[in-house]
Chain A
């Protein structure tokens, strides 16, 4: 007999799968919105009737949309992403190395941003109303109110133009040695850290403040507990769910950030690949990248929700 917790977790996974299905439907649906005939667009000047017919057949364009959707989804599940329109290469090959680059960037950023944000989030909540809190909060409002490219621009202005510490561009192919690595990663990582920490600090702070308002925290105070004990022992254990959610949501801002940051710093990741694909209207490539991003996002949110379920003491035996 499965426990209540198991049922909730399974239910949550079910919701994720359903969501992924709906998302894939929307992403696939974008092809159908393409004005005009894909084949004619692709062939351009060379669109003789024979060529068009040939390519149509090769791309299974004559089957109904729903069938194509099924084939596309099935292929994707098996790791077959199809062929790129633009340069006729298997998409899987184009994505492979690029994905690793992006993941590396994301990992380095998270490793810096998550601890930093947790620390700032919890301490600002503890000392809310203090000048420290107001300073951090003001900085956060400024950062989350402006586009990512603005932060990147600002970082370049400060670190590359005025201080001349770092190069403005990064090219991960030519990395030699640690110093070089640092220089390549520095700009993108600084920018992304700003973008996602701001969100994370804001949400963590709110979660901890909510927990601090609970009557059991007041009770702890009336038992003679110190402020630190009230936060660490009484507020935080009950804020794990919301904090996990804050981290997951903020890491999803990494996606938005990465699209801009890879473009501006010319970083050879999957987001840059995708933006380039938009200018060539290479839909299969775009769809594949989009699905990878959505999958990553859903994975994060699902993990956060499962942590929230597992950390709920009311479900413990």
Chain B
């Protein structure tokens, strides 16, 4: 293994080069999501090229789309939708999953049994299918998408957090706290939570990737972010016609998705062991 350990003395942790590069790419997309559109060379809706599927040029860095709009500007704006919606959804999903999971593990009994059974059943509905059915029923708007994606990924997060918390709960330090007379809330937040934070954050990262994939998939099917707004998935769908001549309009958003999701995966795989599995 040729890993070049770069140590950060302040945290006393080591991270290899792959991890650092991945982290920088993620950071870069996060910054673009927040301030990117202000730097867009063209308004995302303006038709700036008489030709469609134009090639890369000095004016249009990533060419033009099927209507002659600037793809670079549209990707900058699309970042906000893809990253924003996914991040919102993953936060809601993990927050509710972890709180429910820890509570179920500590309380046990019927609460645990029933909740686990129902959420496991929800988990057994393939995510894309769940998305299709719900979009068909309620339609697709950005708040709906955020809630929907959160609901789809809560059961998985619950299951993960519960398994970790159940492990922790069998530890003697929790038994000591119980014997001391501590209440459930103390057990959950003081004894268990600090010991599962690392793995839970890693899980949050993976779940973020799943959500980006599902959101892009739905948008690609035309069921996600609706025009005139466009996330990366919608950009691929809009310009799929350019595939036959390998237009940058279709390849660029593909690369955007891949760079984000692969980076998150690599970052998690290369996290210092200390964080990744402290449980």
Contacts and interface: CB of A to CB of B under 8 A. Distances in A.
A167 B244 CA distance: 11
Contacts of B216: 147, 149
B223 A297 contact: no
Nearest to A287: B133
A76 interface: no
Interface stretch (A114-122, A228-236, A276-284, A307-315): A276-284
Contact of A149 (B139, B220, B261, B265): B220
Nearest to B140: A278
A147 B217 contact: yes
A32 B205 CA distance: 33
B221 A259 contact: yes
A153 B254 contact: yes
B137 A141 contact: no
B128 interface: yes
A262 to B, nearest CB: 11
Contacts of B221: 259-260, 263, 275, 278
B163 interface: no
Contact of A301 (B124, B133, B209, B261): B124
A293 interface: yes
B77 interface: no
Interface string B128-159: 11001111111100000000000000000000
B17 interface: no
A18 B244 contact: no
B128 to A, nearest CB: 4
Interface residues of A, number: 52
B248 interface: no
A146 B257 contact: yes
B220 to A, nearest CB: 5
B179 interface: no
Contacts, number: 139
Contact of A141 (B139, B220, B254, B266): B266
B121 A19 contact: yes
A19 B126 contact: no
A256 interface: yes
A145 interface: yes
Main secondary structure of the interface of A (DSSP, over half): helix
A23 interface: yes
Contacts of A147: 213, 216-217, 220, 233, 257
Nearest to B134: A30
B51 interface: no
A40 to B, nearest CB: 15
A297 B133 contact: no
Given A147-B217, A161-B245, A301-B124, A283 B118 contact: no
Nearest to B216: A147
A150 B254 contact: yes
Interface string B231-254: 001001000100111100011001
A191 B258 CA distance: 16
Contacts of A264: 240
A263 to B, nearest CB: 6
B238 to A, nearest CB: 13
Contacts of B266: 141
A157 B125 CA distance: 32
Contacts of A26: 121-122, 125
B127 interface: yes
B176 interface: no
Nearest to B118: A22
A286 B133 CA distance: 7
B128 A33 contact: no
Contacts of A7: none
B236 A149 contact: yes
Q: Which of B128, B138, B244 has the most CB of A within 10 A?
A: B128
Most chain A CB atoms below 10 A, which of B220, B233, B244, B246: B220
A283 B221 CA distance: 17
Nearest to B137: A30
Given A161-B243, A283-B136, A259 B254 contact: no
Contacts of A281: 136
Contacts of A162: 246
A252 B117 contact: no
26 contacts: A19-B120, A22-B121, A23-B124, A23-B125, A26-B121, A33-B134, A33-B138, A34-B138, A142-B262, A146-B254, A146-B258, A147-B213, A153-B243, A153-B254, A157-B243, A161-B244, A256-B129, A260-B220, A275-B223, A278-B132, A278-B136, A278-B223, A283-B137, A294-B124, A294-B126, A301-B124
Interface of A: 18-19, 22-23, 26-27, 30-31, 33-35, 129, 141-142, 144-150, 153-154, 156-157, 160-162, 168, 252, 255-256, 259-260, 263-264, 274-275, 277-279, 281-283, 286-287, 290, 293-294, 297-298, 301
Given A145-B264, A147-B220, A256-B129, 7 more contacts: A22-B122, A27-B125, A148-B217, A160-B244, A260-B217, A263-B221, A277-B136
